[in-house]
């Protein structure tokens, strides 16, 4: 073992008697990965709700992500690459954010009792942040693993079949609520943490965005359910085959 490590173990400082810069890097990375994921989800939810504009719009968008303007017919592998990239950022963010979770009953009960006593909205919001974050460890992983392993099964019928016939809708419903709430509270915290914008205006705008994204998310999930229900007899049949032939 390197002697410098032993010095840090014994003195909490390095051999120049300086504090580690790792906490600063971790703090920055937690915010940076969070910001990337917020940006991603802002566009992801808009794109997946393209189903509200019709099956053709959703199909065209899916094919565009498969780079069909370069590769004829599209290449789903690009979606898998994108999902893998998001998965790496997602895991890194989860790892960094876990540092802030209550790590014992004492910490958990201290937070809960204090939040109950003080009735302060920003303090209470933290419970939503950690609860939705915890839920997404599992829900986000399921979704991203599906996208990495079955990137070809995205489309008006394929997605609807997965949601309705494969009974994935409860998972997507929970994931939608978790991701929108987590991203909203997370973005609000980022703004305050780094002093980017004025707090009250940001709060108002983020509240409006939360309602908007929950709205389009729920309505488009409903649309996929409807398509999946109507398509249940032809489960597995692709939209492209039906229309293009």
Binding mask of the shown chain, residues 52 to 91, with x at each position contacting other proteins by CB under 8 A? ----------------------------------------
Interface region with other proteins, contact rule CB under 8 A, candidates 1-9, 43-51, 105-113, 165-173: 105-113
* The one segment of 96-104, 144-152, 157-165, 237-245 that binds other proteins by CB under 8 A: 96-104
As measured in angstroms, the least distance from the Cβ of 189 to other proteins is 5
Closest CA to 182 of 33, 25, 24: 33
Distance CA 223, CA 225 (A): 5
Helix (H, G, I), strand (E, B) or coil at 211: helix
Give residue for tokens 């489309």: 155
Q: Is residue 194 at the binding interface for other proteins, with CB under 8 A as the rule? A: yes
Q: Output the six-digit token pair for 56.
A: 């053709």
The CB-of-93 to other proteins minimum distance in angstroms stands at 15
For 26, 74, 149, 164, 175, the CA distances from 152, given in Å and listed in that order, are 36, 10, 9, 17, 21
- Long-range contacts at 42-45 (CB < 8 A, ≥ 24 apart): 42/183, 42/213, 45/180, 45/213, 45/216, 45/217
Binding mask 22-41 for other proteins (x = CB under 8 A): -xxxxxx-------------
What is the closest distance, in whole angstroms, from the C-beta atom of residue 128 to other proteins in the complex?
12
Contact by Cβ (8 Å): 217, 223: no
Q: How far apart are CA 221 and CA 175, in angstroms?
A: 11
Interface pick for other proteins out of 120, 207, 226, 232 (rule CB under 8 A): 120
**Helices (H), ranges, the chain:** 3-11, 22-48, 55-65, 77-97, 105-118, 121-149, 156-164, 169-194, 199-230, 239-244
Report the nearest approach of other proteins to the CB of residue 191 (Å): 9
Span from 39-47, 64-72, 110-118, 148-156 in contact with other proteins (CB under 8 A): 110-118
Q: Is 10 in the site for other proteins (CB under 8 A)?
A: no
- Taking the least distance from each CB to other proteins, the nearer of 123 and 146 is 123
Binding status of residue 201 toward other proteins by CB under 8 A: no
Asked if 100 is part of the footprint of other proteins (rule: CB under 8 A), the reply reads yes
CB atoms within 10 A of CB 2: 8
- 207 sits near other proteins (criterion: CB under 8 A): no
CB-nearer residue toward other proteins: 25 or 207:
25
Binding site for other proteins (CB under 8 A): 18-21, 23-28, 99-100, 102, 107, 110-111, 114-115, 117-120, 122-123, 126, 189, 192-195, 199
């Amino acid at each position: 073992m390197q002697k410098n490590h032993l010095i840090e173990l014994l003195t909490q400082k390095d051999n120049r008697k300086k504090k580690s810069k790792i906490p600063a890097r971790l703090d920055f990375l937690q915010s940076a990965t969070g910001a990337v994921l917020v940006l991603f989800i802002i566009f992801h939810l808009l794109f997946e709700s393209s189903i509200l504009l019709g099956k053709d719009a959703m199909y065209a968008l899916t094919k565009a992500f498969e780079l069909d303007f370069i590769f004829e017919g599209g290449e789903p592998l690009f979606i898998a690459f994108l999902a893998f990239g998001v998965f790496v950022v997602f895991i890194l963010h989860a790892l960094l954010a876990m540092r802030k979770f209550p790590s014992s009953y004492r910490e958990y009960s201290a937070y809960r009792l204090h939040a109950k006593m003080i009735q302060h909205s920003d303090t209470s919001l933290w419970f939503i942040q950690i609860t939705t974050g915890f839920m997404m460890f599992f829900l986000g992983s399921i979704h991203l693993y599906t996208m990495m392993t079955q990137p070809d099964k995205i489309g008006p019928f394929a997605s609807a079949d997965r949601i309705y016939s494969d009974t994935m809708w409860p998972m997507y419903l929970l994931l939608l609520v978790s991701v929108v709430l987590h991203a909203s509270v997370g973005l609000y915290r980022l703004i305050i943490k780094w002093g980017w914008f004025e707090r009250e205006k940001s709060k108002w705008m983020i509240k409006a965005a939360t309602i908007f994204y929950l709205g389009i998310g729920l309505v488009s999930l409903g649309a996929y359910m409807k398509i999946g229900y109507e398509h249940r007899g032809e489960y597995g049949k692709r939209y492209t085959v039906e229309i293009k032939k």
